[in-house]
Amino acid sequence: MKFFKFLLTFIASVTLLSNISNASEKWDMALAYGAGNFHSANATEFAKNVTIKSNGRLTIFTHPGGSLYKGGEIFRAVRTGQAPIGERFMSALGKEDPLLEIDSQPFLATTYSDAMKLYKASKPDIVKGLDEKGLVFLYAVPWPAQGLYSKKEINSVSDLKGLKFRAYNSATIRIAELTGMAPTKIEAAEISQAFSTGAVESMITSPTTGKNSKIWENGVKYFYDIAAWFPKNMIIVNKDAWNKLDKDLQNLVMKEAALAERKGWELSKRGNVADKKALADAGMVVGKVNAELQKHFQSVGATMAKEWADRAGSRGASVLKAYK
């Protein structure tokens, strides 16, 4: 009897130990945007599902709002393994790979279905490029359509001249340059402060980000729905961390990633309608730019398309061919 009890305890401890040494990985996930943002909420749901469905063999803790690493630090942090997993705004990484900023080229994809087509056409090369940098790509989700916010009314190209403009990547900096605005790069988390102190007076971003920053409380009255592009966030994993998971666990993570991607696109589409309404409900003037301005932005887009094609070379050309 005594021996039997001993045997049971022995088996129990061995099982426990092997569980701990085998799997039981813990990942801290760096997220740049606030907990209330749909990207963060979706990533949190993904993390929870992986944790539950792996029976705790992989636990993912999310850190929204740049609390682990700020947006601008996340790519490097994941690449160097300081964070095993994180989310990054793809088109801020044009210096790493021009293909990563294909989704911020104005007027290339102006609907969700074109944005999806562009994503599918560019994904294989993007994934390969990231793999060469020691990163595993999990999924990508777009922000709602980008529009122009301004403290004052914009009726002509000359109204844009000299506006202090909040930019979030090279493409928005370039738009500002080509339209005579004065760009400064500022993280999403600092938007409210930048507008309230008068550091900036205009920006191009989604209705979602304007809503999340309660932009109407900072003297911003106008939103012009240009809807010229749908920039994406991507979730990436450090390859060394990835290789510590066995095949089953890797498959589970990929399956949950595909689900999160699908849900994320749906959430984005919903936000594209609901968040614009939220801006209007908060008293903002929500509309379109006039024909003159539309034409102006379109010609800026054409210039940028040429510049991007030069930077992206033959890889870029073959992605564009696959897209069109």
What is the contact surface with ligand PCA in residues (CB under 6 A)? 89, 143, 168, 188, 205-206, 208-209, 231
Instruction: Tell me whether residue 189 or residue 309 sits nearer to ligand PCA (CB atom).
Output: 189
Closest distance between ligand PCA and the C-beta of residue 166, in Å?
8
d(CA 181, CA 172): 10
Instruction: Tell me whether residue 122 or residue 172 sits nearer to ligand PCA (CB atom).
Output: 172
d(CA 232, CA 193): 24
> What is the layout of strands, in order, in the sheet containing 135-142?
58-63, 25-30, 85-89, 232-238, 135-142
Instruction: Tell me whether residue 41 or residue 50 sits nearer to ligand PCA (CB atom).
Output: 41
d(CA 71, CA 321): 32
Closest distance between ligand PCA and the C-beta of residue 140, in Å?
13
Closest distance between ligand PCA and the C-beta of residue 317, in Å?
26
Question: Dihedral of CA 243/32/169/113: which sign?
Answer: positive
Instruction: Tell me whether residue 231 or residue 316 sits nearer to ligand PCA (CB atom).
Output: 231
Closest distance between ligand PCA and the C-beta of residue 125, in Å?
22
Instruction: Tell me whether residue 148 or residue 252 sits nearer to ligand PCA (CB atom).
Output: 148
CA dihedral 11, 16, 20, 22 (to 10 degrees): 40
Closest residue by beta carbon to ligand PCA? 206
Closest distance between ligand PCA and the C-beta of residue 217, in Å?
17
Tokens of 254: 């990929």
Instruction: Tell me whether residue 83 or residue 145 sits nearer to ligand PCA (CB atom).
Output: 145
Closest distance between ligand PCA and the C-beta of residue 32, in Å?
8
d(CA 225, CA 145): 8
Question: Phi first, then psi: what are they for 54, rounded to 5°?
Answer: -90, 5
